[in-house]
Amino acid sequence: MGHHTVGMEPQLLVGTAEENWTGDARYFEYSRAANPVGSGHIPKIPLDRFPAHRHTSISTGVVHFDISDQLGITAGPATTPALLASFIRIAPGESVSTAPIATSELYRVISGSGYSVVDGRELQWGAGDFFVLPANCPAVHNASTDTTMYWVTDEPLLRHLGVAPTERRFAITHFPSERVEHELATIESSPHATDRNRLAVLLNTAPNDLTQTVTHVLWAMYGLLPVDAVQRPHRHQSVALDLVGDCAPGCYTLVGRSIDTDGEIIDPVRVDWEPNSAFVTPPGLWHAHYNESGEPAHIIPIQDAGLHTYLRSLDIRFAPPAR
């Protein structure tokens, strides 16, 4: 009969091997590393544009507004350090599937009609609608008529953090065009309309009442730029991914680093609007919208202001009223 000897297995004695935990440790003199953005060590977010022809040239597929190379981001496509904007094109009878590793997705239906299959249900949509999808929400988008969508997610933020979402922070929510337009018309007809810096409706989902934003990360606005309007400069630390809606030639945005004592932007860069195009408004820059076209126009900025508002870092400021 064999004998089993207990305790004869090799034992690892604590302290016999010494790990070196210092391999990645580095040290900087304060003044050399206190402001990596200001020093240029981290690339600044550029004022970039995405012309409409880049997405109208395909019939079905996803076209990213990808400037990751300018941002020094190598892990995947990005429009800002936290957000990725894309255009989705779907020919009639065809579909596009989406399944980003993101906490928030926002869709604006630029044109077309159809439905998205999410959680085994059908979400019907048409031109002018918005809808938001929470984390872990794969979807199949089916077009009944030729469709273009603007799609923004926070996938680059999660990629940077090295995380995947564990829970949904809001429900799948649909904002029908008719209701959005009604809300904007009510704002426009208000006797206080001429006193307001922007004529716009902000979208919100109920769980995000604290930040009053469309998701806990994203902020979405549907704004009117009336004929001959000048929407005075303002600035904020969130990045804006501006989708241009309908507009005629003569609508534009001025962007610059500072304003003078009259509240006018000093040495601005001009961004001319083109329908169904997009552009990036970098954080901290003053910007103002102008409509010299003779026709009303619309602008749909999507920002990471939900996150900034929660962090109390939005720092939104408005230029003084024109004298």
Confidence check: pLDDT of 8 > 60? no
Q: What's the pLDDT score for residue 247?
A: 98
Render pLDDT for 168-179 as a digit per residue (tens, 0 to 9): 999 999 999 999
97 half-sphere exposure, CB direction, 13 A CA radius: 2
Residue 11 φ/ψ region, left for φ over 0, alpha for ψ in the -120 to 50 degree band, beta for the rest: beta
Confidence check: pLDDT of 194 > 80? no
Confidence check: pLDDT of 195 > 90? no
Query: Please, what CATH class does the domain formed by 49-316 belong to?
Result: mainly beta
CB atoms within 10 A of CB 313: 13
Calpha distance 287→258 (Å, rounded): 9
Q: What's the pLDDT score for residue 162?
A: 98
Q: What's the pLDDT score for residue 238?
A: 98
Domain boundaries, the chain: 49-316
Render pLDDT for 42-53 as a digit per residue (tens, 0 to 9): 999 999 999 999
Residues 6+ apart with CB under 8 A from 268: 254, 255, 256, 288
Average pLDDT for 279-307? 98
- Tokens (6 digits) for 235: 């600035």
Confidence class for position 18, pLDDT limits 50, 70, 90: confident
Q: What's the pLDDT score for residue 11?
A: 60
Confidence class for position 322, pLDDT limits 50, 70, 90: confident
Q: In terms of Cα–Cα distance, which of 263, 304, 309, 305 is closest to 287?
A: 263
Confidence check: pLDDT of 261 > 70? yes
SS (H, E, C) the chain: CCCCCCCCCCCCCCCCCCCCCCCCCCCCCHHHHCCHHHHCCCCCCCCCEECCHHHHCCCCEEEECCCHHHHCCCCCCCCCCCCEEEEEEECCCCEEEECCCCCEEEEEEEEEEEEEEECCEEEEEECCCEEEEECCCCEEEEEEEEEEEEEEECHHHHHHHCCCCCCCCCCCEEECHHHHHHHHHHHHCCCCHHHCCCEEEECCCHHHCCCCCCCCCCEEEEEEECCCCEEEEEECCCCEEEEECCCCCCEEEEEECCECCCCCECCCEEEECCCCCEEEECCCCEEEEEECCCCCEEEEEEECHHHHHHHCCCCCEECCCCC
Confidence class for position 289, pLDDT limits 50, 70, 90: very high
Render pLDDT for 90-124 as a digit per residue (tens, 0 to 9): 999 999 999 999 999 999 999 999 999 999 999 99
Confidence class for position 24, pLDDT limits 50, 70, 90: very high
Q: What's the pLDDT score for residue 190?
A: 82
